Every structure is written in C-alpha cells, then in structure tokens.
A = this chain, B = another copy of it.
Amino acid sequence: MVSQTRPKSTKRATIKDVAQAAGVSVTTVSNVLNGRTEAMAEDTLQRIQQTIQRLNYRPSRVARSLVTQQTATLGVIISEIDTPLFLQALNHIETIARHAEYHILLATTAEHLDDEAQIIDLLLEKQVDGIIYLSTSVYAKTDFLEDLPPSAPPVVLVNRITPFAGRFDRVNFDHLNGMAAVMDHLVQLGHRHIAHLLGPKDRASTHERLNGYRQGLARHNLPYRDNYVKSGDFEQDWRLWQESTLALVNVSPRPTAIIGANDRVAAVAMRTVQNAGLRVPQDISIVGIDNQAFCNYLNPALTSVKLPVVEAGKLAANLLLERIAGHRREIENNVLPCVLVPRESSGVAP
C-alpha cells in the first residue's frame, strides 16, 4: 500500500504529506497546484488530486509568498472609517481586488493620525503588494510617505493632500467645482442670499469649497458676507449645526438658501428651519454635500453634491493593480468631478 491514509486530524497537511501519500515528489505536487499539468501522466494527476482532496490539503500562501515575494494582498489605510462614505469605496476596492485574486489588509487611523507612519511600517512588514491610502483631506504630516524606501510597494493616494507630488498616483475630488455647481444652481433659481455652513477647518475640502462658494458669488456679482458663513463642522455635535442654522435664519436679510457642510449638517439645518416655521424649499432652499443614500428619504428629498467615492475607490484599485502588474509608467493625478444632484429641497427663491 502506498498510503497509510492517516488524515492527520490535528495538524494541517503540507505539500510533503501529499507527495508522500500520493507516492510522488513535492515538485510534481507543486506542478499540479500551479496548473502545470500539460505534460503529466493522467493517472499521476488524478492520484494527486484525490490525495489533496482526501487530506483536505490547502497550500500555504505564507510559504508561497516567502519564495515568490508576493502576498497577493493590498493594504488599505482608511481614516475616519466612521463615515459610511469611504466605506463604500472599501467595498468596491475589495471587489476589484478579489477579482484580480488579491485580498485586502485593512488598517484604520481613526484614533491617532500620528500612527500613520507606524501603520505603513506594519503593512511593509507584512509585505503587501500595494497600498491604497484613503483618507480625509486633513492637512497632516506626510513626511513618512517621502521616506518610503525604493523597495516599498506602489502607493495610491485618495483624497490626500500632500505637498510633494510626482511620486505616487493620486485620486482627488474636485470639491471646488462641486460647490461652484451648487452656486450656479441656486443663482439660476433666483437666489441672491446664499449661506454656507462650513466644515471642519483642518480639512482641505472645507477650504476648497469655501473658495468655490466665493468664486460662485463673484461670478454672479454677489457680495461675500461674513455673517452668511457659519460653522457646520460635522465632527462636532449636531446641536452646533442647529445653532448655526438658527443664527443664519436671524441674519438680515435672511438667506434664501443654505448649503450644508455635508448631508448630515444639511439635514439638521432643514429640520431646524422647518421647526422654525419655514417651508423647504418655498421659503428657504437647503443643499447638502456627499449625496448619501438618506438624501432620498428626507422630506423634502435633499438636493446634494455627489462625491464620487465609489468611482475613486475603483480607480485607485485599478491604478494600483496595474502598477503592481508593471504596466503604466507615468504617475497619474486624477481629479474626479463632483456633480450636483438636484432634488426637492432646492427651489426657486421666494
């Protein structure tokens, strides 16, 4: 008898076990594992396959990775994972990766932005084949990115503002023109008094949007008014947003439209003005940013600006995979458009 048929209940079977049980060499087993079966005797192949089945053998990717120097794993660093927004991207990144037979190693930096260097280190130690760096557009130190050794895997930066360009592929959002589109939309509806609830100050997107707001005003010959701009910092408590909204409602002349820092802020603003006796959009228009699913569920449905996070995730994943595969030479700096999604909460000015 060739094999003792001892399924080794406790330890997992190795390629050697299979070879032994099937009465062949490890090389031969390795060949069938890797599909090199053209020049193989039919019954050898069968015997090996059966043995694999019988021993419930699963090749160790760890061992394989050690020799091939590839882990078939992509590191994804995500900050602000609380926001469902970027998590949608994660979903699609994973799907694309999986179709290319890659897995996702997830790391978050929700707590301390300072950890970032350390997290990168760990990903390097685990020898991921590539890294997608998906983050809030917060201004932060990114020196550690520059310090990456040449042997480091390719990196794609999504929504990441860094002072140094040129080394990594990037995918960004056109926050400025997204806001400009909102301004055009509102002005077209006859609005002349447009307010803006501002996002967190430490984010690049907040400033880009404020620029879009100002440019929109300028383009339509409308004055910029300090008291039309209040904090809608969405990392704060929603009561702050409510306060800011109430403050806006009491400014004279009263704004006929409010643009929230994001959909949540806008939703609270809508609630607030409604409870103050104003009708949306007849008395006042409300516009959000991000275009999250719940915009459709509000009453009235919230007009918003779509942030193409899903597209960004897909693009990043594909960029990374292509770079890993060795295609592509030039560094790409993609800027994705943010398009307006008009719904019921924005209407003609009173």
Contact = CB atoms under 8 A, between A and B. Distances in A.
Interface stretch (A43-51, A91-99, A195-203): A91-99
Nearest to A64: B125
Contact of A297 (B63, B105, B268): B268
Interface in A108-153: 108, 110-111, 121-122, 124-127, 149-151
24 contacts: A9-B150, A12-B149, A12-B151, A58-B125, A59-B125, A61-B126, A61-B127, A62-B65, A62-B66, A62-B126, A76-B106, A81-B94, A82-B91, A84-B84, A94-B107, A94-B108, A98-B108, A103-B105, A104-B105, A105-B106, A264-B297, A271-B298, A292-B294, A299-B299
A274 interface: yes
B82 A88 contact: yes
A127 B62 contact: yes
Given A94-B107, A268-B297, 19 more contacts: A9-B150, A12-B149, A58-B121, A58-B125, A59-B125, A62-B66, A81-B90, A81-B94, A91-B110, A95-B108, A98-B107, A103-B105, A103-B106, A104-B107, A105-B106, A106-B106, A271-B297, A275-B299, A292-B294
Contacts of A296: 238, 268
Interface in A16-37: none
A165 B268 CA distance: 45
Contacts of A162: none
A71 interface: yes
A56 interface: yes
Contacts of A127: 60-62
Q: Say how many copies of this protein the assembly contains.
A: 2
Nearest to A82: B91
A194 interface: no
Interface residues of A, number: 59
A9 to B, nearest CB: 5
Nearest to A88: B82
B95 A110 contact: yes
A56 B297 CA distance: 52
Interchain residue pairs A-B with the least CB separation, the first 7:
A267-B297, A84-B84, A12-B151, A294-B294, A104-B106, A271-B299, A81-B91
A244 interface: no
A307 interface: no
A59 B121 CA distance: 10
Nearest to A81: B91
Given A103-B107, A125-B60, A296-B238, A150 B91 contact: no
Nearest to A55: B149
